[in-house]
Amino acid sequence: MTKSAVLAPDAPRAIGPYSHAIRTGQLLFISGQVPIDPATGNLIDGDISAQTQRVMNNLDAVLKAGGLSFQHVVRTTIFLADMTDFAAVNAIYGTFFSEPYPARATVQVSRLPKDARVEIDAIAAYS
């Protein structure tokens, strides 16, 4: 198996020992993104909608660095600190995709890095 890291200069720096994404074969596995501003390295201020928008922008930066777009995403996982945020997250998330939508799981977790309220990871496929 061959794997290579994708570094996204327009995404926040990794806050641990992981890559923005790993390409293996025809798949790109994107690490979970939290609402960190790439310019400051800090969690953004704002409500769940603002945090979700930042997360999706960070995912977009990683996808672009891998030569892909949201249309290549086949699966995502959404991690929420509070499931009552589901509708607001879904509203923002849905603006980035068109049919056929990727497969998805959404789970509530007790805590996220930097006390973010949302984290999203993704798997995308090269055509």
All structural domains of the chain with their residue ranges: 3-125
pTM above 0.75, yes or no: yes
Give the model's confidence band at 24: pLDDT under 50 very low, under 70 low, under 90 confident, else very high.
very high
Q: Does domain 3-125 have CATH number 3.30.1330.40?
A: yes
pLDDT at 15: 86
> Which residue pairs, CB below 8 angstroms and at least 24 apart, start in 11-16?
11/38, 11/58, 11/61, 11/62, 11/65, 12/36, 12/37, 12/38, 12/41, 12/58, 13/38, 13/41, 15/113, 15/114
Q: pLDDT digits over 49-92, tens only?
A: 999 999 999 999 999 999 999 999 999 999 999 999 999 999 99
- What is the arithmetic mean of pLDDT over 91-95? 98
DSSP for residue 54: H
Predicted pLDDT of residue 64: 98
